[in-house]
Amino acid sequence: MSDESREPFKRLFFALDCAPAQRKAIAQWRSTLQLRSGRPVPAENFHLTLKFLGSVDAAQIAAICDAVMSVHASTERLTVVLDRLDVWRRAGVLVLAPEQAPPGLLRLVYDLEQALLPFGLEETSKEFRPHLTLARDYRAPAPESPTAPEFFLRADHFTLFESRKGRYHALARWPLRDQ
């Protein structure tokens, strides 16, 4: 048994994953920005967080998975257009975000929050701001981009991830309806 599997608490979050080709395209576009600040997020970690759970007792994971089983039934396949480069100064991150979040994405996040209320995980009062993090510890103005960002994140499922030693590991995934 590895040390990770014996840990009583796990750092968990729900997210929309990026396809490998899309990760590569975003990483290539990011390289054109010639960043002089921050730590680039590894392309294999690109995702759009739906709900951060924080440290969760490993014994709760099965119950959490059961609780979100019904969420996919009310959600359809999603397309999120990442078309805005932004710096979130307080968080110190450079992000790609949608100019406008699609209603289906907002509904999915709301349904997840409702399903997770009985667990008392993380505060739900935080406003959901969809984004894909490009760099952490970013302390400069938004860089000039030679080409405007326009990435279509298409999701037919959402995933429960564990953050472990700087890597994200998929623990479970649920299909979205109407694939």
Asked if 97 contacts 82 with a C-beta cutoff of 8 angstroms, the reply is yes
Is 131 marked active-site? Answer: yes
| Residue from 72, 131, 157, 169 carrying the catalytic annotation | 131
**Cα torsion at 131, 134, 139, 143 (round to 10°)?**
-100
Rounded-to-integer distance, Cα 46 and Cα 132, Å:
6
Asked if 159 contacts 112 with a C-beta cutoff of 8 angstroms, the reply is no
Rounded-to-integer distance, Cα 9 and Cα 144, Å:
41
| Residue from 47, 72, 157, 169 carrying the catalytic annotation | 47
Is 72 marked active-site? Answer: no
**Which are the catalytic amino acids?**
47, 131
